[in-house]
Amino acid sequence: MRRYLQHLLISIPVMLLLAAAQPVFAAAVELSVEDSIALALTNNYDIKYAKSAREKSFWAMKEAKKNKGLSVNLTHTDQRYNTPPAETGTSSYVYTNNFDNQLTLSVPLYSGGKLEGQIEQAKLDLKVADLDMETAKQQLRLTVVSDYLTVLEYRTEVQINQETVKNYEEHLQLVKDKFALGLVAKTDVLSSQVDLAKAQDDLITAQNNYTNAVAALNNDLGLPHSTEIALKDDFTYAKYPKSLAECLQHALEHRPELAQYEAKVASAQYDVDIAKSGRRPSVELTAEQDWYDSHLIGSKNSNWLLKITTSLNVFDAGITDSQIKQARYNVDMVMDKAKQQRDTILLNVRQYYLSMYEAEKRIDTNKVSVEQAEESLMIQKARYEVGIGTNLDLRDAVLSLDSAKKDYSQALYDFNTNKAKLEQAMGLPVQ
C-alpha cells in the first residue's frame, strides 16, 4: 500500500506537467463578409499607405500656400579680416572685427501666376489623394470578398468530395460483398477501388486549396496566416436589382478614378499657366533691419532698407517656350489617359454584369441537375443491390452527382464573384 502511495505521489506532478505541456488550440475566429472588410480596413497596409499619402498631400498643400506668405529671416555674421598696407597707407596690415545682425522680411507681391498655380495644383493633388483612399478601400473590399468567396468555394468542394468518397466507399463495400458471393467479377472490385482512390486524391487537393485560401484571406485581414477562421456567411443568390444601363451610368458618376483624372487634367492645365509665368514679371517686397558693431554682439550701429524688386526674363534661349509646349502636350497625354480609363471602366462594368447574368442562369439549371443526379444515384443503388443495374451505371451515377454539385457551387461562386467585381467597377462606396 505504501509503495502504491509513493508511486501515486510521484505520478501526480508528472501528469500535471504533461497536462500543462499539451498544446492549446485557439478558438476559430468567426467572420462574416462585413466583419472581414472592417478588419481589413483597420489592418491592411495598402490602406495605411493611402492614409499616409493623403497626409503628405495635405501638408504639401499647406507648404504651397505658405510660399505666398510673409517670410522672416534672421542672420548673424562674425567677421575678422585684414586690409593690406597699400590700401591703408600704413606700413602694416590693419585688422578689423565686424559683427552683424540682419533681420529680413520678404513677401512676394506678384509671381506671374506661378505661386497661385502651384497652390491650386496642391489642392488638386489633395483631392486625388482623397480619391486614392476611396479607390484603395474599394479595391480592398473586392479583394477581401473575392478571397472570402474562394474560401467558401473550396470549403464546399471539400464537403462535396467527402460525400463522393463516402459514396465510393459504400459502393466498394457492396461490390466486395457481391464478389465474395461470386456475383460479380474481380474487375468490378478493381474499378471501384480506382474510383475511390481518385476521389480521395481530389479530396486531398481540395483540402490543400482550402488551407491556402484561408491563408490568403488571413493575409488580407492582417491576421497570422495559420489563424483558423469560421465563415459565418454562405453563398447567396438574389436577382441583381439594377439594369446594365443603370450600372454604366452609376460608374460614370461615382467611380473615383474618373474624378481623379478630372483633377489630373486640371492640374496639367495649371502646369501650362505656371510655365507661362516665365514670360511675366515677378515682384517682391523686402524690408531689412541691420545692426552691426566691431564688438560682440554687434548692436551699436543700425540701418534699415525697404525695397521692391521687379524682375523680368527678357531672354532665356527658348527655355520658357519649351516648358510651355511640354506642359501643353502633357495636358493632351493626361486627357488621352482619362478617356482610356473611362472606356476601360465601362467595358469592365459590361463584362462583369454579363458574366454575373450568365452565372445566374446556370444556378437554376445546375440546381435541377443536382436534384436529378441525387435521384439517379438512389435508383442505380437500388438496381445494383438487386442485381439489375451494372457496376458502371452506379459508378457513373456517383460521378454525375459529384459533377452536378460542383457545377452548382461554381455557378454560385461565379455569380457572387462577378457581383463583387461589378460593384467595384461601379464605384460603390465602402461604408
Using one digit for the tens of pLDDT, what is the confidence trace for 61-77?
999 999 999 999 999 99
Residue 166 counted as domain residue = yes
With bands split at pLDDT 50, 70 and 90, how would you rate the model's confidence at 13? very low
Residue 233 counted as domain residue = yes
Residue 310 counted as domain residue = no
Residue 206: predicted pLDDT: 95
Domain that holds residue 374: 25-73+110-283+317-426
Number of domain units in the chain: 1
Task: Output the pTM of the full model.
Answer: 0.81
**Amino acid, single-letter form, for residue 398:** V
Residue 288 counted as domain residue = no
Residue 13 counted as domain residue = no
Residue 302 counted as domain residue = no
What 3-state class would DSSP assign to 430?
Answer: coil
Indicate the range of 5-9, 34-38, 166-170, 348-352 predicted with least confidence.
Answer: 5-9
Phi–psi pair at 79, nearest 5 degrees: -130, 145
Chain segment 147-182, per-residue pLDDT in tens:
999 999 999 999 999 999 999 999 899 899 889 988
Question: In the numeric block, which cell numbers belong to residue 295?
Answer: 564688438
Q: How far apart are CA 46 and CA 137, in angstroms?
A: 9
Residue 354 counted as domain residue = yes
Alpha carbon separation from 83 to 90, 97, 298 (Å, rounded): 10, 11, 21
The CATH number of the domain holding residue 222 is 1.20.1600.10
Q: How far apart are CA 265 and CA 8, in angstroms?
A: 84
Residue 184 counted as domain residue = yes
Question: In the numeric block, which cell numbers belong to residue 184?
Answer: 460479380
